[in-house]
Amino acid sequence: MGLEKETLDARIFMDEDELNHSTVPMLTEKTFDNSPDRDPKRLNSHLKIEFEDVIGEPDTTHSFDRVWVCSTALFEISKYLIYKVLTVLLAVPLAFVMGILFAVLSCLHIWIMMPFAKTCMMILPSVQKIWKGVTDSFIAPLFASMGRCMSSINIQLDRD
């Protein structure tokens, strides 16, 4: 197989013997070992659910073997097919929505939250000095006076 690059397009040239002429479907030739790892950070490792993780029969209670095999097959096929159908219907729209959501959150964080936080950190020493002056000038004398006034109050409880 060769690749020829042109100015506007690319063409692939294949020899006739490189084509697959077998009668075996391509789906059966696919192996999972060659597929790329779509979850390299193991975000969804907890979702590896097998039939035995959901349904289990104790040794004292068993269904017919054919029922067990059919149930297992139906579970695996329905899990596989429904996941495929849901991803066909929902993957692209949800990826679009998640892309917009993360773009908006990133923009808000970069352009609003971080400048606001940095501004607050720059202003904080000045605000701290002003607050200490206000507290020392107005609030501390007020509460000191209230404390002196309240210290002369004496309460006695009598039981009658």
Contact (Cβ atoms closer than 8 angstroms) between residue 20 and residue 26: yes
Six token digits for residue 86: 């849901």
pLDDT for residue 27:
46
**In angstroms, how far is CA 19 from the centroid of its own chain?**
42
Average pLDDT, rounded, for the chain? 81
Six token digits for residue 124: 């904080």
Radius of gyration of the chain (CA): 36
pLDDT for residue 68:
84
pLDDT for residue 28:
45
Please count the other Cβ atoms lying within 10 Å of the Cβ belonging to residue 71. 13
Mean pLDDT (whole number) for 42-57: 79
**Residue 19, φ and ψ in degrees, nearest 5:** -75, 150
Confidence of residue 158 (pLDDT cuts 50, 70, 90): confident
Confidence of residue 82 (pLDDT cuts 50, 70, 90): very high
**Residue 125, φ and ψ in degrees, nearest 5:** -60, -40
pLDDT at 14 over 80: no
**What's the angle, vertex CA 81, arms to CA 74 and CA 92, rounded to 5?**
160
Confidence of residue 17 (pLDDT cuts 50, 70, 90): low
pLDDT, one tens digit per residue, over 107-151 is 999 999 999 999 988 988 888 899 999 999 999 999 999 999 999
pLDDT for residue 5:
47
Distance CA(27)–CA(84), nearest Å, equals 15
Distance CA(72)–CA(57), nearest Å, equals 12
pLDDT for residue 47:
78
Contact (Cβ atoms closer than 8 angstroms) between residue 20 and residue 1: no
Share above pLDDT 90 across residues of the chain, in percent, rounded to a whole number: 41
**In angstroms, how far is CA 68 from the centroid of its own chain?**
36
